[in-house]
Amino acid sequence: MILDGKKVAAEIREKLRKSVAFNLANGLRVPKLVIVLVGHNPASEIYVANKIKACQEVGIDVEKIAFEEDIKERRLLTEIRKLNNDQSVDGFIVQLPLPEHISESKVLTTIDFRKDVDGLTPMSMGRAIQGLPAFRSATPAGIQELLNAYNISTEGKHVVVIGRSNIVGKPMAMMLMQRPYLSLPNMSASSMGDATVTVCHSKTRNLDAICRSADIIIVAAGSPKLLKAGMVKEGAVVIDVGINRVDDASSPRGYRLVGDVDFENVVSKASYITPVPGGVGPMTIAMLLMHTYVAYNGRVLGLKMK
């Protein structure tokens, strides 16, 4: 069965749209998200355009602040501090990757975790590891929400995560192995976890055998067709995070997007599987909107993170 991230994300957006409209009708302001974009990375420009469109659809006030590639690190950090202190801004994100001369870790460390709606700062991750309220990294949070939407429990399951990045692999593994805790108001997936997690990466030996022992496999490696049918146990759940461009002369763009899973061959073995596109991607954006709404709730309705 296909895990339809596009559909579940649309349902989340619809719920948010109604909540935003309800608050507005009752005299409250709408939530505000700021997206900081540095330079002209073509993929980043597409991601930012999609995020803006999604915000507009649900009625979130969204502002893009664009800087040229050569902005000085100091200036960018100053702009981030301004956003931390701007009372009209509920949450903001700095689109990654950043140009080489700017330290990603300095940028992330400067963002106030209460406005960190992408859930990527060291403070957010540290708090999440300790079970304290914090925004969870958007992509792993989206995966948890998607599993939740299809009533796929992770309790006691062996989950193999392929990839150990700070934005997907590490936070995903951490969330799955946690005891369930209430991280934030309005979050259904906060009760998920309790899995036995194995994290695999480029130096892992016996990847095939490890994957074959998994009840759930989450692949975030950035390598097309990495997960083959022979690596998947009959009936396993397969989550494909990968977004890879492969040449395709028949497409008007000259390329098409594929995931990290050999979908055509794995689909018949998996009990549930996400497509690319239309699986994890839309869920990631839905989480950004949900987190913005939760940040707004904290500021406007007094549901504070402590």
Taking CB under 6 A as the criterion, the residue among 191, 196, 198, 204 binding ligand NAD is 204
Q: Say what angle helices 42-58 and 5-25 make with each other, to 10 degrees.
A: 50
67's CB contacts (< 8 A; 6+ apart) are 36, 37, 38, 39, 75, 76, 79
- For the question of residue 247 being annotated catalytic, the response is no
137, two tokens: 């990294």
Using CB atoms within 10 Å of the CB of residue 46, give its burial: 0 to 12 exposed, 13 to 18 middle, 19+ buried. Answer: exposed
Instruction: Considering the candidates 61, 90, 116, 118, report the single residue annotated as catalytic.
Output: 118
Q: Please identify, among the stretches 22-30, 114-122, 145-153, 161-169, the one whose residues bind ligand NAD according to the rule CB under 6 A.
A: 161-169
Minimum distance, C-beta of residue 57 to ligand NAD, in the bound complex (Å): 18
Residue with tokens 């903001």: 92
**Considering the complex, what minimum distance in angstroms separates the CB of residue 134 from ligand NAD?**
19
Q: Is 151 left (phi over 0), alpha (psi -120 to 50) or beta?
A: left
C-alpha to C-alpha distance for 123 and 103, rounded to whole angstroms: 17
Under the criterion CB under 6 A, does residue 153 sit at the interface with ligand NAD? no
**Shortest distance in whole angstroms from residue 284 CB to ligand NAD:** 3
CB 266 within 8 A of CB 229: yes
Which positions from 65 through 104 interact with ligand NAD, judged by CB under 6 A?
none
Report if residue 168 touches ligand NAD, rule: CB under 6 A.
yes
CB of 13 to ligand NAD, least distance (A): 16
Write the DSSP symbol of residue 239: E
The residue range among 30-38, 105-113, 147-155, 220-228 that interacts with ligand NAD, by the rule CB under 6 A, is 220-228
263-292: which residues touch ligand NAD (CB under 6 A)?
280-281, 284
Catalytic residue list contains 87: no
Q: What is the CA radius of gyration of the chain?
A: 19
Task: Tell me how far, at minimum, the Cβ of 168 lies from ligand NAD, in Å.
Answer: 3
How far apart, in Å, are the Cα atoms of 167 and each of 22, 93, 120, 157, 206? 33, 13, 7, 23, 25
Query: Residue 223 and residue 227: Cα distance in Å, rounded?
Result: 9
Question: Is 240 a known active-site residue?
Answer: no
- The 30-69 site mask, x for binding ligand NAD (CB under 6 A), equals ----------------------------------------
Comparison of 12 and 89: residue with beta carbon closer to ligand NAD? 12
The catalytic position among 4, 32, 61, 95 is 95
Indicate the residue among 184 and 287 with the shorter CB distance to ligand NAD.
287
221 lines the binding site for ligand NAD (CB under 6 A): yes
Query: Using an 8 Å Cβ cutoff, are 228 and 202 in contact?
Result: no
Instruction: Provide the annotated active-site residues.
Output: 51, 95, 118
Rule CB under 6 A: which residues touch ligand NAD? 139, 162-165, 167-169, 200-202, 204, 207, 220-223, 226, 241-244, 280-281, 284
